[in-house]
A = this chain, B = another copy of it.
């Protein structure tokens, strides 16, 4: 796995906020796709409102007035806990330090990207009040389907949008109710049905495992089955979650996934599953295929994180993994299908 020398590819300085009174805190976790001769990244852009003296600002989309609202909470408020840089705990509930939307960045060479001036998918429903995050793009039968995390006071759910031109986006609503994240669609039907990975959150009963589900229409999902579980005492002890859409190889479906350990350090792994039964894992990587090592991966809004939800495969077997680092910037690393299959098998 070779990181691009051009890393970081995209940083908060590279993007215009959606409003003059907002600032961009992070540009992370890009989905990736080739379209019309360009490489398109669909980047999660996290914005925040300016803090007033002695208070923190919480930016949210309010569906009732179809507009943004900013709440200011005094730092002296005993009910406020700011210990996690990604969120505030306030009056028993969690609020986010930044509100994310999804923005396109374009490139010809895959290294030099330029952000569009406007959001592609901006919060617009009651389920997106806290933001739209961590997209995956899968081209199925000529349409590009975008699955993304929709966060709000109603929980962390997964929504879907689709486009044929990356200009007009059609929203399909919530396809997975809370508490779910990390949904990626397979590029083709398996045994006559669409397939996806998804990731229920951990609870008092269960660890955060990757599941596989099936659908006839991409909007309604069933036949849920557990696929990959965390492994105690390892780099993937706390949670695992699906990454970019799996790639079909002669040996099986190749998944790149993320995992976190007990210290909240996020690394990437590879797994291989059966072509006809993608819920059945053939093998998984014992070691991470990419882990936080570079300064831009170790320090940022939330350090020690590499998180991939975008990957491009070339005809020659080259794989470019686009990833978010330290919850702050976008980067990429190059490898090959053969290398990833080997990693998944040892």
Chain A residues in the interface with B (C-beta under 8 A): 89, 93-94, 126-127, 130, 151-157, 173-180, 198, 200-201, 203-206, 209, 211, 213-217, 219-226
Residues of B within 8 A of A153 (CB): 205-206
CA of A130 to CA of B157, assembled, Å: 26
Whether the pair B204, A174 counts as a contact (CB closer than 8 A) is no
> Is B156 within 8 A of A224, CB to CB?
no
A154-B226 CB under 8 A given contacts A198-B177, A216-B216: yes
With beta carbons under 8 angstroms apart, the residue of B93, B205, B225 that contacts A174 is B225
What is the interface of chain A mostly: helix, strand, loop, or mixed?
Answer: strand
Interchain nearest-CB distance for A230 vs B (Å): 12
Residue contact B94 to A204, C-beta cutoff 8 Å: yes
8 contacts between A and B (CB under 8 A): A152-B205, A154-B205, A156-B205, A174-B222, A174-B224, A176-B177, A216-B220, A220-B221
Query: Which residues of chain B come closer than 8 Å to A176, judged between CB atoms?
Result: 177, 224
Residue pair A177, B219 in contact (C-beta under 8 Å): no
Extra contacts, 13 of them, besides A154-B206, A179-B201 (Cβ < 8 A), are: A152-B205, A154-B205, A173-B223, A177-B180, A178-B201, A179-B203, A215-B220, A215-B222, A216-B216, A216-B217, A216-B220, A220-B223, A221-B222
Please report the C-alpha to C-alpha distance between residue A151 and residue B217 in the assembled complex, in whole angstroms: 28
A203-B156, A205-B93, A209-B154 given; A177·B217 CB < 8 A? no
Q: Which of B130, B206, B221, B226 contacts A205 (CB 8 A)?
A: B130
Find the B residue at minimum CB distance from A94. Answer: B204
Q: Which residues of B contact A215 (CB under 8 A)?
A: 220, 222
**Chain B residue contacts of A214, Cβ below 8 A:** 220
Residues of B near A154 (CB, < 8 A) are 205-206, 209, 226
Q: Bound state CA distance, A127 and B217, in angstroms?
A: 25
Minimum Cβ distance to chain B for residue A95 (Å): 9
